[in-house]
Every structure is written in C-alpha cells, then in structure tokens.
Structure 1
Amino acid sequence: MTMRFTLPDGSERAVTVRYALNAGYAGRDTAQVQHHVDELAQLGVPAPRRIPTLYPLSASLVGRPEVVQVAHAKTSGEAEWALVVGEDDVLLTAACDHTDRALEVHGVAWSKQSAPDLLGDVAWPLREIEDELDRFTLKAWVRHGDVETLIQDGTLAQLLPPSYWIEELGERIVPGTVLLSGTIPMIPGVDQFADAWRVELTDPRGLSSRVVYSIEQLAPAWD
C-alpha cells in the first residue's frame, strides 16, 4: 500500500508501507495508563504483561478507507499519532486504531489484526516539529445517527514521544514502517460503539491532520 500525505508547505509525499507496529499502554503518566487498563478491563480485556507493549501487524491493514466494515457492533476506534518512515525522513500524522473489542478479550494481538489502522491526510516532517510535539492536540469524536460527541481530548504530552520508540526499536525503524502511538483515555460515559469516528491531530499553528470514516456492520455469518 502506498500512502500519500500533504505536508504543511502544500507538497505531497508518498510512502510505501511495508511494516506496521501498534504501541499500547504508552502513556507517560502511569495513572493514565492504569485508567486505560481499567477501561479495557471493564470490557473483559486482560492487562498486558509488559508496559508499554508493541504489536506487529500486517502492513495490509494500514490505509485510509472511508468505510470500515465490521462483523458486529462491538468495535471502536482509538485516537493516536503515527510515525511514517520514508526513505529520507520520518513523518508524523494522525491515526485511528480501529479494534474489535469482542475479540480483544481473547487476545489483544488478535484483535489488532482484525481491523484497520487509518492514517491522516496531512503529515509533518518529524525533524521540523520535535521541539513542539507536546503542544499538539489529539481529539476524537464519535457519531451516533446525526449526533457527534467528543470522546477523546488531550495532547501529545500524555503519550510517550516518537523519540522513545525510535530509540527503543533501533534498526527496526526502516523505510516503510508505520508505528501507531497508543491512545489517550476516553471521556467517561460516551458510547464508543459508534456509527462513525473522526480524529484530529492539530499543531500549535492550527493545522490539522484528520481521519474520518464510518462503520458498516456486515450481515451475520451462515453458521
């Protein structure tokens, strides 16, 4: 899959995705990480053995579909940032890790393989923004029918920075690698099992990278 991104100067960059990695439980604040663990525990998802953790995915799951087709009603997204490694530089963009919550209770790694990682339309060269990353905002909205509700609202200061993963992964960060950051907590009381998701990653000057998609539930299997 070749992904195309618009850079802040209006130019376009294309990167062919070869590897996909999803970070998990990657908050800087241990209390917030525990909050996310508790959120998932309410859905029956066991706590990870290692924090932060990392899930390798099939590169075919990375894309920008307008519609995500799912097998049942218990799936949802997660607002994240993503690193996209090109031949000569590294880009940062918005991302949404859509996940099968019903499958997640049997294995997080399995659930990650069951739904796509969606990437934003705009990307920033990482070297140009590293000193201001903590001032980027990360938000997500869910739509039920015609009503859209804010479900995630934070900043990149809540998550481990790209530099952490670049240092930890070393030679695994090769051209064509996409790394998703892990997510921030959801706002209590908002129904995550929605008809559509919207994610925005916004820099201090107001430029946003967006992910927007709707959910289509498929007909049941002929069991």
Structure 2
Amino acid sequence: MILNLSVNGQATEFSIDNLAIAGWAGRDQEGVQHHIDELAELGVQPPSTTPLFYRVDPQQLTQADKVQVLGEGSSGEAEVLLIADANRRLFVSLASDHTDRELESYSVAFSKQICVKPLAKEAWPLEEVAPHWDQLRLGSEIEEQGARVEYQNGTLAELLDIPTLLERLPKELRDNQGILPNTAMLCGTVPAIGGIRMSPSFSGSLTDPVLNRSIRLDYSLETLPVAV
C-alpha cells in the first residue's frame, strides 16, 4: 500500500506492508474499562488482554473523501496513526478506525478487517511532538439531524504512549531493532461522548497546542444495502 502524505509541506511517499490496530490501549485502566463497557452494551466480548493488536490488510487504508459501508451498523473513531518508514523513522498522522459494530459482537478482529480505515493527508515527524505528546488532543464530530455534534474529545495522556505500545508489539511486527520498517499502527482512541453510534459523516482532528497546528480528517459514508 502506498500512502502520499504532506510532511511539513513536503509531499512524502510511504509504503505500508503491515497494518495493526491497538485495541484497549488506554493508559488509565478506568478509561479502558469504560470503553469495554461501551462495547459490552453492543454485545462485544471483553478482550483477552490489554492492549490487544489486531492485524488488518494495509489495503484497507484509504484517503477517499467518501467511503462505502455495508448496512447501517458501523461507526468511526479518531485515532493517531503511527507510521514507520523504510528507514524506521517514525511519523504520526490521523485515521479513523471505522468498524462494523454489528459484526463486532461476533468478532472484533473480523469487524476491524471488513471496514476501510480513512486516513488524513498530512503527517508530523514523531520527534517534533514527542516532548509534549500528552498535550496533543484527539477529537471528532459526527452529524446528527443535520447538525455537527461533538463525539470525542480527549488528550493523548489518556492513552498508552508510543514507547509503551512499541514494547508490547507482537513479534510479527517487530525485530531486535524495534518496529518493522513500512509498518503502520492505529494507537487507540478516547471514549465516545454519548455512546457509540453511526453517522452519515465523520470529522476527526489531532491538535498540537504547543506548535499551534492540527491534522484533520473528514469523510462521508455511502451505505450499501444488505442483500438477503
């Protein structure tokens, strides 16, 4: 999978061979339990361990402004996307872990694989934000009754930091030098305000209050009928 992202105004190409989603990646165990409880209301079984890394086909990453989903039971979540380039240099961007919530009650892994993962068009070098990582803010909005409604709002202090996630990566995604080159990982999310629900459009943001900048992600859904 080839991604084209703007890094400090410079067009940069990334080749992605591996994609993982870090689930249940909250730093505060109370927050993790809150998210587990959110999904339990939808019939999702609790994880066997936390964090848990789900593998997904890199072809599921998309920078399209409109994505197709099957049925009306899916929703998005704003997440930091970590990218290791061919030289293992790390970058951060923004993605949505769009997930089929109906299928999730059967299998979280299957629900992750079936939906595309919309991705922003900009990235930052990790070293630029690492010193103030916990101050970065992750947020999103959804559309309800024609109005924009706040859906997520939290800082990355609520989530496991990058060094901790990298230490816990499964062996398939790392070697003795760390994360494998050309690997991308969604790094967890903050709770939904008012509960998880579908929307015809989704807007996410990753805001850096120290360097006064943000990465945005906007996409809409085309719902395909479920033929029986």
* TM-score, normalised with respect to structure 2: 0.92
C-alpha RMSD of matched pairs (Å): 1.4
**Offset of 1:210 from its aligned partner?**
1.4
Counterpart mapping for 1:132-151 below 5 A: 132-151=132-151
Judge conservation of contact 1:25–1:51 (CA < 8 Å) in 2: yes
Residue 160 of structure 1 aligns with which residue? 160
Residue 188 of structure 2 aligns with which residue? 182
Structure 1 residue 13 and structure 2 residue 18: aligned? no
| Structure 1: 4+ residue segments shifted above 3 A | none
Indicate the SS of the match to 1:109: helix
Distance between the aligned counterparts of 1:199 and 1:206, measured in 2? Answer: 17
In structure 1, give the amino acid aligned to 2:126. Answer: L
Residue 207 of structure 1 aligns with which residue? 213
Question: 5+ unaligned residues in a row in structure 2: which ranges?
Answer: none
Distance between the aligned counterparts of 1:107 and 1:145, measured in 2? Answer: 31
Structure 1 residue 83 and structure 2 residue 89: aligned? no
In structure 2, give the amino acid aligned to 1:35. Answer: H
The C-alpha deviation readout for 1:82-109, integer Å capped at 9, x for no partner, is 1011123111011110000000000000
Judge conservation of contact 2:15–2:86 (CA < 8 Å) in 1: no
Range with bigger deviation, 148-157 or 166-175 = 166-175
Q: Percent identical across equivalent pairs?
A: 37
Structure 1 residue 197 and structure 2 residue 196: aligned? no
Indicate the SS of the match to 1:60: helix
Distance between the aligned counterparts of 2:45 and 2:166, measured in 1? Answer: 27
- Give the aligned length: 220
Distance between the aligned counterparts of 1:100 and 1:128, measured in 2? Answer: 34
Distance between the aligned counterparts of 1:208 and 1:145, measured in 2? Answer: 27
Judge conservation of contact 1:82–1:178 (CA < 8 Å) in 2: yes
Counterpart mapping for 1:28-47 below 5 A: 28-47=27-46
